[in-house]
Amino acid sequence: MIKEKQVGVTMDTTVRFRIAREEDVSEIVQMLADDELGRKRERYEQPLPSCYLEAFQAIDQDHNNELVVAVKSEEVIGVLQLTYIPYLTYQGGWRALIESVRVHSRARGSGIGEQLMTWAIQWAKEKGCHVVQLTTDKQRPDALRFYKKLGFVDSHEGMKYHL
């Protein structure tokens, strides 16, 4: 189970990271849908489509997946999904895959994304992963710059085949 850690110096600026709960799913989907690309693929509506709760339950029950939220003043302001992948390469090493990184539009530019990513990298290291990898859509140049600033290197060419 994930440890909850706090970052910050006062109650007003403290950000906590924890495993998402079912009651967080609506806020998470709202963040995922809150940009040009997200609006094309997500359905944020009330009631929330059941497919999101079904996906949450599958993630929550999989010990190699963690849906992590950043919380400030009891409000969910960020999210990412960590998936732990065992490999035969690197002598049976483990990798962490980071996906679906979002910060609430009201909190963008405040350092929350950097705190969330730094926390996730450290958490993956503590779990014994030898590498952290991610993909970002080429239509998100700001995200690409952000990840490079954190030390990620575009060392591989990624491809997807949509079914």
Per-residue pLDDT tens digits for 146-155? 999 999 999 9
pTM: 0.87
Tokens of 57: 């339950």
Q: What pLDDT is recorded for position 7? A: 44
Domain ranges of the chain: 5-149
Q: What pLDDT is recorded for position 160? A: 87
DSSP letters for 34-74: SSHHHHHH----SSPPHHHHHHHHHHHH-TTEEEEEEEETT
Distance CA 92, CA 97 (A): 16
Q: What pLDDT is recorded for position 157? A: 87
Instruction: For residues 110-134, give the mean pLDDT.
Output: 95
Tell me the CATH class for 5-149.
alpha beta
Distance CA 131, CA 101 (A): 17
Tokens of 4: 């909850």
Report helix, strand or coil for 12: coil
Query: If you average pLDDT over each of 35-39, 126-130, 138-142, 153-157, which comes out highest?
Result: 126-130
Residue 76's beta-bridge partner residues?
A: 71
| Mean pLDDT across the chain | 90
Is the pLDDT reported for residue 2 higher than 80? no
Q: How far is CA 34 from the centre of its chain?
A: 15
- Residue 4: pLDDT band (50, 70, 90) is low
Is the pLDDT reported for residue 5 higher than 70? no
CB 158 within 8 A of CB 135: yes
Tokens of 158: 């990624």
What is the tens place of the pLDDT at every residue in 68-81? 999 999 899 999 99
Between residues 53 and 4, the one the model is more confident about: 53
